[in-house]
Structure 1
Amino acid sequence: LLIGGDWNEWIYKGLAILLIGCPCALVISTPAAIAAGLATGARRGLLMKGGAVLEGFRRITAVAFDKTGTLTAGRPVVTDIMAYGRDERTVLALAAALEQGSSHPLAMAILDRAKADGAPVPPALAAKAISGKGVEGSVGGVAVFLGSGPAVGERADMTQVQRLAVDSLNGQGKTVSVLVADGVVAGLIAMRDEPRPDAAAGIAALKAEGIRTIMLTGDNRRTAEAIAASLGIEARAELLPQDKQRIIGELQREGLKIAKVGDGINDAPAIAAADIGIAMGGGTDVALETADAAILHGRVMDVARMVRLSRAVMANIGQNISVALGLKAVFLVTTILGITGLWPAILADTGATVLVTANAMRLLRWRG
Structure 2
Amino acid sequence: MKLSEHYTRTSVYITLTVLLFGAVIYYFAINYIAQQQLDRGLQQQLTEAEEYARSNDQNPQLYDLDRDHAIFVKTNRQQLQKRFFDTTYFNPKEQRAEPGRAVEDLVKVNNNNYYKVVITISRAGQKYLIEVITIITLTLLAGLLAVLFITNKYLLNDLWKPFRLTLKEIKQFNIADVDQFTGKPSLVDEFTELNEAIREMSLRVTHDYLKLKQFTENASHEMMTPLAVVTTKLDTLIQDETLGADQLAQITDIYSSINKSSRLNNSLLLLAKLENKLITEEEPIELDIMLAEKMQQFQELMQSKNLLFRHQLEPKQILASKYLVDILLNNLFSNAIRHNITGGIVIIQLTAHLLSIKNSGGANPLNTDLIFERFQKGKESQGTGLGLTLVKNICQHYGYTIHYYHEMGLHAFVITF
Q: Work out whether the TM-score is over 0.5.
A: no
Q: TM-score, normalised by structure 1?
A: 0.26
Instruction: Give the TM-score, by structure 2 length.
Output: 0.23
Which structure ranks higher in relative contact order (CA pairs < 8 Å, sequence separation ≥ 6)? 1
Q: Who wins on radius of gyration, i.e. which is larger? A: 2
